[in-house]
A = this chain, B = another copy of it.
Amino acid sequence: MRKLDTSRLVIATHNAGKLKEIGALLAPYGITCLSAGALGLPEPAETGTTFVENALIKAHAAARAAQMPALADDSGMSVAALGGRPGVYTADWAERQWFEGEPGRDWYMAMGKVEGMLCQLGPEVDRSCWFSCVLAIAWPDGDSVTYEGRVDGTYRWPPRGTMGFGYDPVFVPKGRDVTFAELAPEEKHRISHRADAFAKLVKDQFTA
C-alpha cells in the first residue's frame, strides 16, 4: 500500500472534537493535522452506499481541494437482523422531521426506531450488531488507501449510560456486560471500531 510521504495531513472533518482526537492519535508519528474546516474546504455530499465509498468521497474531495494528502473517516451502526441498517444512514436516522421540533439530531429517537423495528421481528430476534469505521487516505493525484475497523456487540434496551455519543447507550461490546456509554472513554477508545481502524492504519503507514 502507498505510504504517506509528507508530515502534513488534512483531516476531512468540520468537527473540532474529531480533529482533536485524530490529531492526538497521529502526533506520535510526526504528523501535523490540518483541519478541512479551518482551510475553508467544502463538505461534499455523502452519496455513497458503503462506509468505504463515503470515506473515499470525503478524502478525495479534501485532497484535491488542499493539494495535499487527506484523511477522512466514515462510521456507523449496523444491526444484523435489519440487514445492516441503519449503516451508512446512521446519522440520517437521527434527523428530526419538522413536526418533531427544531432541525437537528435526536439519538434517543434513532435508537428507539431500531429497537421498534427489532421488536417487530419478535422477542427472540437476533440482537447482534456492530460499529464500523472506515479510514481513507487520499492523495491529490487520485490514489487512495482504506482501513476498516469494527467492534461487535449486542443491541440492548433500554439505553444505559451517559458517556460517549450516538448509539453508545444501547451497544454492549462482545465479552462485556455494560454499554459503550457506561465505559470510561479511555476504555471505549481501546476497543472501539475507530481504534481498530487506526491500529491498522498505523501498522501499515508507520511501521517499517
Contact = CB atoms under 8 A, between A and B. Distances in A.
Contact of A113 (B109, B123, B157, B159): B109
Interface residues of A, number: 25
Contact of A117 (B85, B99, B112, B119): B112
Say how many copies of this protein the assembly contains.
2
Interface in A144-163: 157-159
A40 interface: no
A97 interface: yes
A71 to B, nearest CB: 26
Contacts of A89: 99-100
B113 A117 contact: no
A110 B106 contact: no
| 4 closest residue pairs by CB, A with B | A112-B116, A108-B120, A112-B112, A108-B116
16 contacts: A86-B99, A93-B100, A106-B117, A108-B116, A108-B119, A109-B117, A112-B113, A112-B114, A112-B115, A112-B116, A112-B117, A112-B119, A113-B113, A115-B115, A119-B159, A123-B158
